Chain A
Amino acid sequence: MSLFVTELRRLGKRRVTRLMLVLLVVGLATVATAFSFSSEKLSPATVAAAEAKANNNYQNSVKEWQRSVSECEAAAARGDNTEERYGPNCGKDYQPQPDMFEANWYLPYQFDFRAEFPMFIAVFAASVALFGFIVGASFVGAEWNTGGMMNLLLWRPKRLTVLGTKLAALLTTVLGLTVVLGALWTAAFWLIASQRGSTAKMTAGVWRSIGLDGLRALAMTLLVAAIGFALASLGRHTAMALGAAVGIFAVSEIGIRIAVAVLGVQFGDRYVLSTYAQSWFLKQAELFDYHTCQFSQGACEPATYMVTWQQSAVVFGVALVGAVAAAFWTMRRRDIS
């Protein structure tokens, strides 16, 4: 227990941890504050103004259409060819309709908590995951690099216990931060929705769904932090984890995309990591194959492939187990010099 508390203290004392925490909090606060200015609560007056504007635009459009038809008929009477300029039947068949001018189009943006907050959970999770990755990698990478790990092992010559305790301290910190900052994040957006948006239709079922989104976000932050920690421990350097992350991103998001495009692989995005991240947050990701469509024969429903969050769980779970198991196996076997 003393080692766990020590490692928590060590992590909290580290400059990278403090700097990244400040950046994380400032970044999240900036996003929330900036977003609050973009939303405006709808009042009967703004709705009426939007309806009036929609109606006005509709009227103007009708007048313009009438003028165009009149010009066409006059030209036709002179024997001019009107079809090329005005279309068949002088465009009489294209009279503007009121439903073409919805009042919604003229309303200012209003944040809808129910519909849009899940997207902000993903933004939050990505931010905290980045924090966890960098702090986790640095926590163990710098320890290896500066000899701190060796010093610690001279005091506690149980390698797996030491590495496990460090990982536990990291995950506890990330868990605590995710819960606390997640609660503040939710409160901030609830406040924005209450004051400058809409909190309508927030049933118990919606809250349960948001809670599950939050749990998946939490799992993602812990997973990314653990993988960053494991990669840095494997390479005994923070840069190893950061380099691996850049490499994985380049291979997955650029290399594989190019390869599947060249090879003409159907639903190539199912081999791209970000598809699984998307499906993890949105519960599923639907891929389309427009190559199956023959547009010359009219409208087409393209072939689809569904990536579910359960599949994402398997992919990320395998990555997590692989990286952490390799880090512990190497820790057990390697000579420390």
Chain B
Amino acid sequence: MSAVLEIEGLRKTYRSRKRGVRRALDGFDMRVEAGQVHGFLGPNGSGKTTTLRTLLGLIRPNSGRMAILGQELPHALPAVAGQVGAIVESPQFFPHFSARDTLGLLAQAGELPKQRVDEVLELVGLRDRAGERVKTYSLGMKQRLAVASALLKNPKLLILDEPANGLDPGGIREMRGLMRELSENGMTVVLSSHILGEIQLICDSVTIISLGRRVAFGPVEQVLAAHSQGSVRVRLEAVGDLPQAADALTRAGVRVTTEPDHLLLSGVDKPATVSRLLAEQGLYVSELTPVAVDLESVFLELTATAPVPGQHRQVDQSAKVDQAGTTGGWGA
């Protein structure tokens, strides 16, 4: 499969007298195959938007390689810009223009036929409100307009930063359907979102970024499988026996997390060994359930951003893994 988007070793450092040096991107890698819907995930401040802005020529990187549709950036950006539709962060439009004016001006700048404006307005459900000023739109309507502006070029690569932000449940479902439809028609979609359930439903593959570095990537099922870690939930007939059970399991080399009414074990290949080990100690299991992981738990684990009772995590507090620790290079 050919790569539509390739990023290798991308670095961006911000230097400020007040705030010192901050590495927004620290050797970030990413690869998106043609025709995929690719999820791009990361905690706040992890470098997602910086990556997208750098890719789109809005920010100058310090080093690294980027390519879209096989053409090196930023040199070839003017040549490929016509094939890339993008919205970055919250949609921003001139408030006193109507949606039709906004898209009409973009279409004219891009030398596109006028009827394309009506096509995308229909596609995002703004046909009947297209003549109204953008300042009267809700956040969800502005989001639809932003998606319309990105689709206007009928791009080969569509980059959407939080496209479901502000959408109502019906809108989110419509957006999901639209992404699928676009992908089926051969468009490659890069989707940045914090709604991980949506990402898991829509995306073929994901890249997870934390503190400017890639911490996981690949097909969604593969990422989930790689981080399921054989987790098992154990309940005992007597809750008071939990500390004794935790002690016995720990001595046997099992990683144990003690919860108020159960134990959470990880790194367990065969759950039956747990049952046998505890029975030998005279402890009787009332529940032994393999725990299925979802993207959210993988994300929280990889980025170390799961909430901890009594602590207030700051924006830049998240995991940083060695580049060697990630799976493969160049998305391999």
Query: A residues bordering B, Cβ < 8 Å?
Result: 2-3, 5-6, 9-10, 13-15, 142-143, 146-148, 150-158, 333, 335-337
Interface-lining segment among B30-38, B101-109, B225-233, B310-318: B101-109
Contacts A155-B81, A155-B110, A157-B81 given; does A142 touch B58 at CB 8 Å = no
Judge whether B94 and A148 touch: CB under 8 Å: yes
**Which residues of B have CB within 8 Å of A155?**
81, 106, 109-110, 153
Closest CB of chain B to A28's CB: distance in Å? 25
Tell me if B94 and A142 are in contact (CB < 8 A). yes
A-B interface pairs (CB < 8 A), number: 75
Chain B interface mostly = loop
Q: Which of B81, B94, B101 contacts A156 (CB 8 A)?
A: B81
Q: Which residue of A lies closest to B57 (CB)?
A: A157
Which listed residue (A6, A147, A333, A335) contacts B109, Cβ 8 A? A6
Closest residue of A by beta carbon distance from B79: A157
Give the docked Cα–Cα distance between A6 and B81 (Å).
Answer: 18
Q: Does B59 contact A (CB under 8 A)?
A: yes
Which of chain B's residues have a CB closer than 8 A to the CB of A5?
A: 108
Measured CB to CB, the closest approach of chain B to A331, in angstroms, equals 12
Contacts of A337 in B (CB 8 A): 53, 58-59
Q: What 1/0 mask marks residues of chain B from 45 to 89 whose CB sits below 8 Å from any chain A CB? A: 000000001001111100000000000001001100100101010
- Are A2 and B96 within 8 A (Cβ)? no
Given contacts A148-B92, A157-B77, contact A335 B105 (CB under 8 A): no
- Bound: A15/B96 CA distance, A: 7
- State how many angstroms separate the Cβ of B48 from the closest Cβ of chain A: 13
Interface string of B106-118 (1 = CB under 8 A from A): 1011110000000
Chain B proximity of A231: nearest CB distance (Å) = 20
User: Are A152 and B58 within 8 A (Cβ)?
Assistant: no
Which of A10, A143, A154 makes the CB contact (< 8 A) with B56? A154
Asked, given contacts A2-B109, A157-B78, A157-B81, whether A150 binds B92 with beta carbons under 8 Å apart, the answer is: yes
Chain B contacts to A: CB under 8 angstroms: 53, 56-60, 74, 77-78, 81, 84, 86, 88, 91-97, 101, 105-106, 108-111, 149, 153
What is the CA–CA distance of A130 and B110 in the complex, to the nearest angstrom? 33
In the complex, what residues of B have CB within 8 A of residue A13's CB?
97, 101, 105
- Which of the residues A9, A146, A153, A333 comes within 8 Å of B93, measured between beta carbons? A146
Q: What's the minimum C-beta distance from B153 to chain A, rounded to whole angstroms?
A: 8
CB <8 Å contact, B92 and A154:
no
Give A152 to B153 CA distance when docked, in angstroms: 13
Q: Smallest CB–CB gap between B81 and chain A, Å?
A: 5
Question: In the assembly, what is the distance between CA of A10 and CA of B78, in Å?
Answer: 22
Partner of A336, one of B53, B95, B149: B53
Out of A6, A10, A335, name the residue touching B58 (CB < 8 Å).
Answer: A335
- 9 residue pairs, one from A and one from B, having the closest CB atoms: A147-B92, A336-B58, A157-B57, A6-B108, A6-B109, A335-B59, A157-B77, A2-B111, A15-B96
Nearest CB on B from A197, distance (A): 43
Give the docked Cα–Cα distance between A297 and B212 (Å): 82
- Shortest CB-to-CB span from A254 to chain B, Å, is 32
Residue contacts A-B, CB under 8 angstroms, 5 given = A153-B57, A154-B58, A156-B109, A335-B58, A335-B59
Question: Complex: how many Å from CA A66 to CA B263?
Answer: 127
The residue that A157 contacts in the complex, of B56, B91, B93, B111, with Cβ under 8 A, is: B56
Pick the most buried of A2, A151, A156, A157: most chain B CB atoms within 10 A of its CB.
A151
Q: Give every chain B residue within 8 A of A9 (Cβ-Cβ).
A: 105, 108
Cα distance A147–B96 when bound, in Å?
13
- A86 → B minimal CB distance (Å): 76
Q: Which residues of the partner chain A approach B101 to less than 8 Å between Cβ atoms?
A: 13
7 further interface pairs, Cβ-Cβ under 8 Å (given A153-B58, A157-B56, A333-B60): A10-B105, A146-B94, A150-B58, A150-B88, A153-B56, A154-B81, A156-B81
Contact A143 B94, CB 8 Å, known A158-B78, A336-B59:
yes
Of all chain B residues, which has the CB nearest A335?
Answer: B59
Give the distance in Å from the alpha carbon of A15 to the alpha carbon of B94 in the complex.
11
The answer to whether A148 touches B57 (Cβ under 8 A) is no
Roughly how many angstroms separate A158 CA and B109 CA in the complex, as a whole number? 13
Chain B residues, Cβ within 8 Å of A146: 92-95
Instruction: Kindly list chain A residues whose C-beta atoms are within 8 Å of the C-beta of B77.
Output: 157
Q: Which residue of A lies closest to B152 (CB)?
A: A155
| Residues of A close to B106: CB separation below 8 A | 151-152, 155
Closest chain A residue to B159, Cβ basis = A154
Expressed in whole angstroms, the minimum distance between the Cβ of B35 and any Cβ of chain A is: 22
Q: How far is the CA of A336 from the CA of B50 in the complex (A)?
A: 10
Instruction: Closest A residue to B90 by CB, please name it.
Output: A147
CA distance A156 to B80 in the complex (A): 10
Q: Which residues of B contact A147 (CB under 8 A)?
A: 91-93
CB distance from B20 to the nearest CB of A (A): 17
> Which chain A residues border B94 with CB–CB below 8 Å?
14, 142-143, 146, 148
Contact B86 A154 (CB under 8 A): yes
Q: Which of B57, B84, B108, B149 contacts A151 (CB 8 A)?
A: B149
Cα distance A146–B81 in the bound complex, in angstroms:
21
CB distance from A187 to the nearest CB of B (A): 34
Q: Which of A9, A146, A152, A157 has the most CB of B within 10 A?
A: A157
Given A150-B88, A154-B81, is A3 in contact with B109 using a C-beta cutoff of 8 Å?
Answer: yes
